[in-house]
Amino acid sequence: MSELLNHLTLPFLLAMFLAITMGGSGTAPSFSAAYGASVIKRSLIPGLFGVMVLLGALIAGKKVSLTLGLGLLEQSYFTPFNTSVILLSVALSLLVANLLGVPQSTSQSTVLSISGAALALDGLNTDTLFYEIIPTWFILPLVAFGLMWVLIQWVFPLIKSKLLTEDYSHLQEHKGLKFVLIAASLYVAFSIGSNNVANAAAPIASLTANELGPVGTENFLPITILSVLIVAPCFAIGSSLLGHQVTETTGKEIVEVSPFYATIIALIVASLLLLASALKGIPTSLVQLNGAAFIALSIRKNGFKPTFQNKTVRRFFAVWAVAPLAAFVMTYGLIRLAEGF
């Protein structure tokens, strides 16, 4: 038993570290709308975020855990070293993004990190990666952008209400909207739990099952649940330590939003993510869905050219492109290097 614990200690610590960085990154798409609309105190965000993430992971996260734990790389390849490299690569790429104030896709970094390991070990499931996961990464942000564009271009102009303005004083006249906006933020956090907790929990669940042998394989789901219970609370820690800067960036630096628009954005992106999690178990990027919806709103209000000249938008695209590839290259390189010795 002591030997098993020795093998598992480092990967579990890295998974917890990854969950902390994910908590910082995931806070923005959950609460940037409510925070940008100034309807929730910053001090309340980490606790609420952590609770909803845990519930989302336990209730709706099973399929994503199976995709990441078994779908890309065979369970037998999740050794202590390989799992540690995967988790470390993802955590470092996300930590850099958090320090830059850019909410980054945990799912994309995790998928590409596992894919890097799988490629290095000649065990990559290309069908799952190229025919299921990657197409979803392109389609869902376009759907989020398209839905928001249709609403603000043709639907919202028909609504004659002060709610569509950026004057937050109108919230005092519509206290029910405050509740709806906060509820939408909690819904987003639940959706993040259904998708993103698996990024840290699935690799260590596969590792534990692999180390336990046939007994572990037969009890993969209970092991996954235990891994979730260890990992999910770390999201709240990350939200408290790292979440404020990325929340500020997304909520107030792309475009000013009315409480009404903020609520609609939160509902669109959370629903798309939960759909991907529950139906197909596809690990996907909520921060990109969130960014796509905000960009649609910015183009409608400020125009195409000013939106894409925005330094924050440019920084988003740069980090979104680089961080997952960095995780892939780091994992592939380290495992190939280790294989050579």
Cβ atoms of residues 56 and 197 within 8 Å: yes
Domain, as residue range, for 171: 2-340
Percent of the chain with pLDDT over 90: 42
Give just the sign of the alpha carbon dihedral 214, 219, 221, 225: negative
Nearest to 193 by CA among 237, 235, 135: 235
Domain count for the chain: 1
pLDDT higher than 60, residue 238: yes
Q: How far apart are CA 121 and CA 49, in angstroms?
A: 37
Q: Give 27-43 pLDDT, tens digit per residue.
A: 766 787 677 667 788 88
Greater model confidence, 322 or 209: 209
Q: What is the rounded CA–CA span in Å between residue 336 and residue 246?
A: 34
- What's residue 30's pLDDT? 77
Instruction: Identify the pLDDT of residue 129.
Output: 92
Taking only the tens place, the pLDDT of each residue in 239-277 is: 888 665 555 555 455 556 666 777 788 889 899 999 999
Q: pLDDT tens digit string along 85-136?
A: 999 999 888 777 767 766 677 889 999 999 999 999 988 889 999 999 999 9
Q: Contact 268/148 with Cβ under 8 angstroms? A: yes
Give the residue carrying structure tokens 């500020």: 248
Cβ count within 10 A of residue 150? 12
Half-sphere exposure of 183 (CA within 13 A, CB side): 7
Cβ within 8 Å of residue 97, ≥6 positions away: 25, 103, 104, 319, 323
